[in-house]
């Protein structure tokens, strides 16, 4: 294959090919050899852009994020701080099959302690900054009750990025998971930050059922 003078095009082809294979075969069953063979390039071409298959998955996840839509929500003057947090934290629709499959692959990756630590750093770093700003905005517009915005933000991140992930905290069965979501709702309602509504509960229920089916 001739040398591609456009590295961005090559990266996009690698990510598109990898994502197709991850969805078709599953992350664990897909090898770097599978990716390069389907693309018709050498391993050297792959490793020129990515160090590992894990790095490709991270890039695939980032590629699925619609940054433009996220900024549109963040800057929308017609939404309260609470509504912005809800839309940004629960923006993945269960009906988006491809995105949901990628998310479940991420769940499985979090079994790796090294990746789990990186996830913790990310969630307690950049994520906390934007959540805190929106919590402050919610307190200013009255959609969130006055409280410590940093502590509320850290609690949101821990509860929704860790306590609800089945590969970090095994829910044992659907009833335990459902009760966990209700308890999160009760805690956040009690703190005056009611971001978990009936629609969010339904979303968690659908994703939990699909994840159970995937792992049967």
> Residue 153 sits in which domain range?
65-214
Q: Can you tell me the distance from the alpha carbon of 94 to that of 99, in angstroms, rounded to the nearest whole number?
A: 8
pLDDT in tens, 69-107: 778 888 999 999 999 999 888 864 444 566 666 677 777
Contact present, 136 and 129 (Cβ < 8 Å) = no
Do 76 and 23 share a structural domain? no
Q: Are residues 92 and 145 in the same domain?
A: yes
- In whole angstroms, give the CA distance from residue 26 to residue 42: 22
Domain boundary among 62, 87, 105: 62
Do 38 and 72 lie in one domain? The reply is no
Whether 145 and 42 map to the same domain: the answer is no
Q: What is the pLDDT of residues 159-172, one digit of tens each?
A: 988 898 888 887 76
Residue 75 and residue 42 in one domain: no
Angstrom CA distances, 151 to 64, 137, 148, stand at 29, 15, 6
**Which residue, 152, 180, 150, is CA-closest to 164?**
180
Among 200, 98, 118, which residue's Cα sits nearest to residue 156?
A: 200
The reply to whether 2 falls in a domain is: no
pTM for the model stands at 0.73
**For residue 50, what are its two tokens?**
């990515």
């Amino acid at each position: 294959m001739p040398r591609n003078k456009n590295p961005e095009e090559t990266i996009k082809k690698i990510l598109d090919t990898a994502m197709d294979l991850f969805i078709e075969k599953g992350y664990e069953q897909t090898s770097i050899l599978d990716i390069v063979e389907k693309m018709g390039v050498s391993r050297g071409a792959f490793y020129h852009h990515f160090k590992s298959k894990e790095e490709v998955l991270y890039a695939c996840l980032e590629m699925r994020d619609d940054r433009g839509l996220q900024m549109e929500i963040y800057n929308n003057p017609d939404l309260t701080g609470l509504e912005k947090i809800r839309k940004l934290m629960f923006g993945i629709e269960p009906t988006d099959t491809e995105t949901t499959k990628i998310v479940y692959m991420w769940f499985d990756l979090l079994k790796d302690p090294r990746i789990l630590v990186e996830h913790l750093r990310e969630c307690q770093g950049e994520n906390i900054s934007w959540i805190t700003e929106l919590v402050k905005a919610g307190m200013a517009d009255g959609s969130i009750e006055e409280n410590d915005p940093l502590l509320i933000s850290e609690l949101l991140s821990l509860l929704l990025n860790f306590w609800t992930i089945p590969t970090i905290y095994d829910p044992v069965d659907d009833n335990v998971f459902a009760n966990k979501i209700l308890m999160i709702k009760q805690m956040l309602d009690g703190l005056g930050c009611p971001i978990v509504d009936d629609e969010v509960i339904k979303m968690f229920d659908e994703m939990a059922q699909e994840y159970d089916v995937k792992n049967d």
